[in-house]
Amino acid sequence: MVGAGIAIVCGSLLGPACSTGSGSKVLRVGSDIEYAPIEFYKENSKQAQGLDYDLAQALGKKLGASVTFIDDTDFAGIIGALKAGRFDVVMSAMNDTAERRGKGVDFIDYFRAGSSILVQKGNPKGVKTPDDLCGATVSVQKGTTQDTDILTPQEAKCRSAGKALSVLRFEKDTDALQQVKNGRAVADLEDFPVAAYNAATSGGGADFEVVGEQVGAVGSYGIAVPSNNRALRDSLQAALTAIIKDGTYDKILARWNVSAGALKAATVNGGS
């Protein structure tokens, strides 16, 4: 028994990869580390940081396991890589959705986030809502909620209105963001904490701004676990419950200025 009375057994909860050979436990977290402030690298290094990284380390402490982040898979293929056993869980600003659960994963929900529209500073095209994007070109990270749940239906809506929407889809959000910076796209759609962070930090705050209200459904980020590994799922849920109760969770969210997305309970499969 470790942490807040949470059991974790190498080879049972984490699978055979949890042992380093010395008896220590390792939780392998798959993540596409390109999404500040949720997960990103420290400048000029391969050291991960951000909300997901800090929360994962806190969960590992409760479980008595070290946590390592693995960044070798694009976001669109990361569930498939999880199912193939390349890591034990996914923690990558991933929304808990019915469509993703249908791919054979369960989610432990840990954060709430809607979507925001990010444009060039000064909003030269006057964008306020998704309807304002009709007739224009936008960019987005492929496979995200912003891609599948907002822009894909918006493409059909714009087409029906006779003003086609062109969507540039990229493996990395940093590439999508660059299209707005260089003027190839009028907007990039991102999760609200990411958009706010980029607007505040890129070019010292001179490159971008967030416009309008949050769009689309407000969803829950979840830690994805293969649905056939309920023991690991339940252990992580217990660990998340423990850090919520002892205040560690709130301190981590405050550190990254995302307290508005706090959840009060660790729910399994509570997303849309």
Backbone angles phi, psi at 152, to 5 degrees: -60, -50
Q: How far apart are CA 145 and CA 115, in angstroms?
A: 8
Domains 16-113+219-261 and 114-217 share a fold: yes
Mean pLDDT across the chain, nearest whole number? 90
CATH class as words, domain 16-113+219-261: alpha beta
Residue 61 has pLDDT above 70, yes or no: yes
Higher per-residue pLDDT: 36 or 11: 36
Backbone angles phi, psi at 16, to 5 degrees: -65, -25
Ranges 90-94, 212-216, 259-263: which has the least confidence: 212-216
Burial 229-259 (b: 16+ CB within 10 A, else e): beebbbbbbbbbbbbbeeebbeebbeebebe
Backbone angles phi, psi at 26, to 5 degrees: -130, 130
Query: Can you give the pTM of this predicted structure?
Result: 0.78
The confidence band for 245, taking pLDDT boundaries of 50, 70 and 90, is very high
CATH class as words, domain 114-217: alpha beta
Task: Name the residue ranges covered by the structural domains of the chain.
Answer: 16-113+219-261, 114-217
pLDDT, one tens digit per residue, over 183-214 is 999 999 999 999 999 999 999 999 999 998 88
Give the torsion sign (CA, 96, 36, 185, 217): positive
Q: What are 235's strand-pairing partners?
A: none
